[in-house]
Amino acid sequence: MMFLLFFSALAEEPVVEADAERTQKIWLDDDLFVRRDLMLRGLRAIEGVDFTIPKTWALTADPMVHLRLAHSEALLPERSTISLQVNGQIIHSARLDMDNAVDGEIVAQIPRGVLEDFNTLQILAVQHVTDACEDPFDPSLWTRVHADSYLSFPHRSVPLRPDLSQFPFPLYDPLDYGPVTLSVAGITTASPAQLSALAEIGFALGRYADYRGVSLIEPTDSLSAADGHLLVFGTPAENPLVGQLLGAELPGAGEGMVAIQANPEQPDRAILVVTGGDEAGLRQAAHALATEDRHELLAGSRARIRSVADALPPASRQSPLPLPPERTFSLADIGIPDQTVRGYYSAPVSISLKMAGDANPPLDGARVGIDYAYSALLDNTLSTIEVRLNGVTLRSEALDEYNGEEKKRLWVELPYELTEPTSQLEVVFHLFPNNFNPCEYVSDRQLWATVFDTSTLEFSRDHFTDLPDLSLLRHRLWPVSTDSGSVVLVTDASGSPESAAAATLMAAHLGAASAGAAPELMATRSRAGLLAETAARHAIVLVSSSSDPTLQDLYDGRSANVSGLLDRTLELPTEELLSAKVGAAYPYIEQLIHPNSPDQTVLLLRASQPEGLVPLVERLSNPSTLYFLEGNAAALGEDGVVQTVHAVDPIRVGTVPVLRKLQMLVRESWLCLGLCLLACAFLLANLIRTWAHRRGGQV
């Protein structure tokens, strides 16, 4: 049995006074991830948006909803309304008239009494264009709520009472908005133990933050200069802030200590101290805090770690999870629960199929079995279920039982040419009431359909691809996302605080992108021969100096093709493709096959100065940057500009099964297909002749 021994310090940190009142705007698009305008169509339409109240907010007045909208000018203002409700309680109603048909605005007050930690704002539109015969699918029945609408929250920050029993709060508040903002503090030259501890905690915070992400700001050596939560890591001898914060209560040899407190200079920010009497103590302090089934036992403002057994990092928060390696699995296995939709304009049930970047579905045999149910009294001549893959409809079937279905399965083949490592499967229900009459108003809320989590996917995969190919990074940073292998993070040889911060941020990106239960992540300073020593791992090399020993190893071995920042060169082992002096030292990313292992890759991220490493790593969490990455190298300019280079012939990594090669050959060659058909006909004729001969007949 594994044990964790610790004790908490008796003295608690003083509570710091809260700051002044402020008003925070929470935007539907940037903060609540409403990527498109909300369209409310038909006679009666509902759209919902979820929002939270962070733990650190004390509301000083009722929040306000500010909705920007437009609607059809054909709507009858006497009968058309828009209503807002929060957590099931109506808070506002207004007419849809000519005053708000274009660039309209609805401002409504949310009573604080209806709010909880997790809340839902529902927007309900009742729309009419005539008093007589009215088609509920009339295209003039619409209202658009713009995604740049927002909610405003007047509040004061609650004084922090940090307690290790609440970790990862307050560094990560599950109710807050935006990325987790951190700063590395007090590091002058990062030791291997400091890098290891920062990477381990960064990876764990990346797992907690998930899609919100982690943001690292400029390292600091001052408590007052930070604009985020502070990470104070290292032994007392390595980091002077440790002694300043902990006083005389320092760990002994072989001991670790973790502490959390409010920043006395910024009361709404926290300081996390991870230290040890020596390197071994520092490493075990970080391990105690960064593993999911260990830190739950910690309590108080400080804890002294005497020993900690090996354990796993926090589980991935991705939803849904990547597809498991098994050929057959259910929606429940990837974290998708039962889902019910209602009404004429019911939203599709979306199922994200996330695979590794080198996953190739079979040419035939991949299919999904949708388990579904639907309500009674549907119009069986109009109501259907439709299945789409990446926007292409694959199958449609009538919902033809008058009394509905409790559970039925629909099998749909998934064409390999439409399936990508990141694909979107959609199940769309088109629901019409029985005896549908466009001139008769009927509520559509009794129309429902459900997709069950027992729905099954049969999905074998062959693993092969051509590398280098930076475009594969868009699939959860594949292949360095540590699901199928281990990774070494290489910082600059000097151990600068900027490279330590960049390594922490890169570890957080990997934590969010990966889903493996036990990834292997190592962080170390650059040195000659490091890649040869770690040839079994993918490598991510963070470089800001031309004299970096790992960079020199890559150049000397003719592995890296891009060199220089102002005097920039592009060369292959046999020829020079470009030599130029450029006007701006833009950072760049290069991917190459590991010089010491054909099964691993090296991802080289180079900036002109140490201060440029964190912004460069930050670009890897930007979907627009990932979208434009391709080839073997890319220069990242200002304003999101990405310039890619295809200067290296890709190499096949992985093995294509023989049967798949034959299938691909037959599919891609009409001549081969014709020969196969002739061969099959010849064999069939011989079989018939042989059978007839044995029966004594003639053919």
Over residues 290-303, the pLDDT tens digits come to 998 888 899 999 99
Closest residue by Cα to residue 538 from 557, 552, 519: 519
Structure tokens at 511: 């934590």
Taking phi over 0 as left and psi of -120 to 50 as alpha, with beta for the rest, 397 belongs to: beta
For helices 279-290 and 192-209, the axis angle rounded to 10 degrees is 10
Structure tokens at 164: 């290790």
| 493 and 524 Cβ atoms separated by less than 8 Å | no
Q: What number of other Cβ atoms are within 10 A of residue 297's Cβ?
A: 14
Q: In what order do the strands lie in the sheet with 588-593?
A: 520-525, 486-491, 538-543, 601-606, 588-593, 633-636, 642-645
Q: State phi, psi for 513 to the nearest 5 degrees.
A: -80, -30
Whole-angstrom Cα distance, residue 318 to residue 437? 44
Residues in the chain with pLDDT values less than 70:
1-19, 438-445, 484, 659-677, 695-699
| 668 and 598 Cβ atoms separated by less than 8 Å | no
Structure tokens at 274: 């991870």
The burial class, CB within 10 Å (0-12 / 13-18 / 19+), for 175 is middle
DSSP state of 13: P
Q: State phi, psi for 246 to the nearest 5 degrees.
A: -95, -15
Whole-angstrom Cα distance, residue 218 to residue 497? 9
- Return the pLDDT at 673: 57
For the CA atoms of the chain, what is the radius of gyration? 30
530-536 contacts: CB < 8 A, separation 24 or more?
A: 530/488, 530/490, 531/594, 531/595, 531/596, 531/602, 532/596, 534/488, 535/594, 535/596, 535/597, 535/600, 536/486, 536/597, 536/600
Q: Please state, in angstroms and as integers, the Cα–Cα distance from residue 110 to each residue in 40, 90, 424, following that order.
A: 22, 9, 36
- What is the amino acid identity at position 251? P
Q: Please state, in angstroms and as integers, the Cα–Cα distance from residue 530 to each residue in 287, 395, 500, 533, 535, following that order.
A: 24, 53, 18, 5, 8
Spell out the SS3 assignment of 367-409.
Answer: EEEEEEEECCCECCCCCEEEEEECCEEEEEEECCCCCCEEEEE
- Dump pLDDT digits (tens) for 603-622: 999 999 999 999 999 999 99
| 394 and 419 Cβ atoms separated by less than 8 Å | no
- Return the pLDDT at 432: 87
- Torsion from C-alpha of 650, 656, 658, 661, nearest 10 degrees: -60
- Return the pLDDT at 43: 86
Structure tokens at 622: 């930007």
Whole-angstrom Cα distance, residue 626 to residue 644? 11
DSSP state of 416: G
- Return the pLDDT at 16: 40
Whole-angstrom Cα distance, residue 385 to residue 56? 45
Whole-angstrom Cα distance, residue 146 to residue 377? 35
Find the angle CA(309)-CA(315)-CA(318) to the nearest 5 degrees: 165
| 267 and 157 Cβ atoms separated by less than 8 Å | yes
Q: Which residue in this structure is represented by tokens 């180079």?
A: 606
Whole-angstrom Cα distance, residue 498 to residue 611? 6
- Return the pLDDT at 344: 80
Taking phi over 0 as left and psi of -120 to 50 as alpha, with beta for the rest, 8 belongs to: beta
How do beta strands 384-389 and 601-606 pair?
Answer: unpaired
Structure tokens at 75: 């709507």
